[in-house]
């Protein structure tokens, strides 16, 4: 045995104040681990308020910040579903890109309504997600390799169908005004366009709510309800926790894995028109690097890359942390290079904090140090 038995004068008496303190700390550890995302969010908000005050903490700034990140937040929801099954999806950025290009081309060349464009883009994304799922389960290719290959394939298709040229969505009529379809498409994310304008809404007043914010929140709510309240959600956790045990319990593991990859692709395709509307164009390189932000949001929110642990609520908080962190750093004129370094370090810290027994490993040495400090000097000198 490697553990040593403490000397008699070092043992804690069951009813001692030190013993009670240690017990309380240990009981609080699970709650501290679960609350790490919320603690991080409060810290980012506090830094923003202290450094920039009203420039940061006002409705216009926060709405613009969340709108800019909304498409990546929607990607993060799909990525979280995949991560919960112990998989990974690196193709979501490229799938968002081709969804964005699909939306722009349907608007410009076919003058379709956004009511048709958004489902069409989501179906395109679902197709590529289905390919990822089948490649992972039927062909037994590791999800990392399969989605990395799909990232390249989809990006190539995007550049091929667009002729490597950006497609603008601000389509004008002969008088120079936006066409009715283009005006409707702008509501999907173009800054300055809001829904329910003139109607009083909690937190938003009468200024309306930006569609990207509404879509992001709605996707998170539905995703969390699916995970927490449905059999499919329980199956996702079961597959991620122990696929063999899940299979023996009657769970169709293959179907669950294919379904989560398909949903991830569908959400990426759904986010495409939002990204195109926000930029007022679809670029062949749209979505590049978005998969990293999506994975970071899921990890910061508490999702375990080993599978079986995480929530959409946590991912929502993680996305807010990244959103507001980008905003705070930008308001404080921090360079883009420094921002990338800071975000990378935050992801590393988040993963370390999730490690089983991490907080216990911190508390025990602290308690031992306090015990040494509180021991009478005469006994310490012996």
Any idea where the domains of the chain sit in the sequence? 36-356
Look at residue 10 and give its three-state secondary structure: coil
Q: What is the pLDDT of residues 168-208, one digit of tens each?
A: 999 998 888 899 999 999 999 988 888 887 777 766 667 77
- The CATH number of 36-356 is which of 1.20.120, 1.10.10, 1.10.3470, 1.20.1530? 1.10.3470
What was the pLDDT predicted at 58?
A: 86
Indicate yes or no: pTM above 0.85.
yes
Q: Which residue stretches of 35-168 are H helix?
A: 36-52, 59-84, 92-110, 114-137, 143-162
Please, are residues 350 and 36 in contact by the beta-carbon 8 Å criterion?
yes
What was the pLDDT predicted at 196?
A: 81
Q: In the predicted model, is pLDDT for residue 377 greater than 60?
A: no
What was the pLDDT predicted at 38?
A: 84
What was the pLDDT predicted at 18?
A: 57
Q: What is the pLDDT of residues 326-354, one digit of tens each?
A: 999 999 999 989 988 988 898 888 877 76
Please, are residues 184 and 169 in contact by the beta-carbon 8 Å criterion?
no
Q: To the nearest whole number, what is the mean pLDDT of the chain?
A: 87
Q: In the predicted model, is pLDDT for residue 7 greater than 90?
A: no
- In this structure, of 84-93, 139-148, 168-177, 274-283, the range with the lowest mean pLDDT score is 168-177
What was the pLDDT predicted at 62?
A: 87
Q: In the predicted model, is pLDDT for residue 379 greater than 60?
A: no
Q: What is the pLDDT of residues 70-118, one digit of tens each?
A: 999 999 999 999 999 999 999 999 999 999 999 999 999 999 999 999 9
Confidence of residue 370 (pLDDT cuts 50, 70, 90): low
Q: What's the rounded mean pLDDT across residues 120-130? A: 98
What was the pLDDT predicted at 8?
A: 42
More confident residue, 201 or 160: 160
Minimal CA–CA distance to 208: which of 320, 60, 58?
60
Q: In the predicted model, is pLDDT for residue 1 greater than 50?
A: no
What was the pLDDT predicted at 21?
A: 60
Q: What is the pLDDT of residues 296-312, one digit of tens each?
A: 999 999 898 999 999 99
| Residue 339: Cβ-neighbour burial (10 angstroms; 0-12, 13-18, 19+) | middle
DSSP one-letter string for 165-208 = --EE---B-TTSSBPHHHHHHHTTT-TT--BSTTS-BTTTBTS-
What was the pLDDT predicted at 255?
A: 97
In this prediction, what percent of the chain has a pLDDT beyond 90? 63
More confident residue, 282 or 191: 282
Confidence of residue 290 (pLDDT cuts 50, 70, 90): very high
């Amino acid at each position: 045995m490697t553990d040593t038995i403490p000397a008699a004068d070092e043992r804690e008496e069951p009813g001692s104040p030190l013993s009670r303190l240690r017990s309380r700390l240990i009981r609080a550890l699970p709650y501290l681990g679960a609350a790490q995302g919320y603690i991080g969010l409060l810290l980012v908000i506090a830094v923003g308020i202290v450094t920039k005050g009203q420039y940061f903490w006002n409705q216009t700034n926060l709405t613009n910040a969340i709108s800019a990140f909304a498409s990546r937040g929607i990607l993060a929801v799909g990525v979280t579903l995949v991560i919960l099954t112990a998989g990974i999806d690196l193709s979501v950025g490229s799938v968002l890109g081709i969804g964005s290009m699909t939306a722009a081309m349907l608007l410009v060349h076919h003058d379709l309504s956004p009511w048709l464009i958004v489902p069409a883009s989501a179906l395109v994304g679902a197709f590529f997600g289905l390919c990822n799922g089948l490649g992972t389960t039927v062909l037994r290719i590791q999800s990392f390799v399969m989605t990395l290959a799909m990232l390249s394939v989809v990006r190539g298709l995007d550049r091929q169908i667009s002729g490597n040229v950006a497609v603008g969505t601000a389509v004008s009529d002969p008088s120079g005004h936006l066409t009715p379809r283009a005006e409707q498409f702008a509501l999907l994310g173009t800054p300055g366009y809001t829904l329910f304008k003139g109607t009083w809404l909690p937190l938003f007043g009468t200024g309306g709510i930006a569609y990207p914010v509404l879509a992001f929140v709605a996707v998170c709510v539905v995703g969390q309800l699916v995970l927490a309240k449905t059999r499919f959600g329980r199956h996702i956790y079961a597959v991620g926790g122990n696929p063999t045990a899940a299979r023996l319990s009657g769970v169709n593991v293959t179907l669950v894995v294919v379904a989560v990859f398909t949903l991830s692709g569908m959400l990426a395709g759904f986010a495409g028109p939002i990204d195109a509307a926000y930029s007022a164009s679809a670029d062949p390189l749209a979505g590049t690097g978005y998969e990293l932000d999506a994975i970071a949001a899921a990890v910061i929110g508490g999702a375990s890359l080993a599978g079986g642990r995480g929530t959409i609520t946590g991912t929502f908080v993680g996305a807010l942390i990244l959103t507001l962190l980008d905003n705070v750093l930008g308001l404080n004129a921090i360079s883009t290079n420094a921002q990338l370094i800071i975000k990378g370090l935050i992801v590393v810290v988040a993963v370390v904090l999730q490690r089983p027994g991490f907080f216990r490993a911190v508390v025990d040495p602290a308690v031992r140090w306090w015990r040494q400090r509180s021991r009478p000097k005469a006994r310490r000198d012996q």
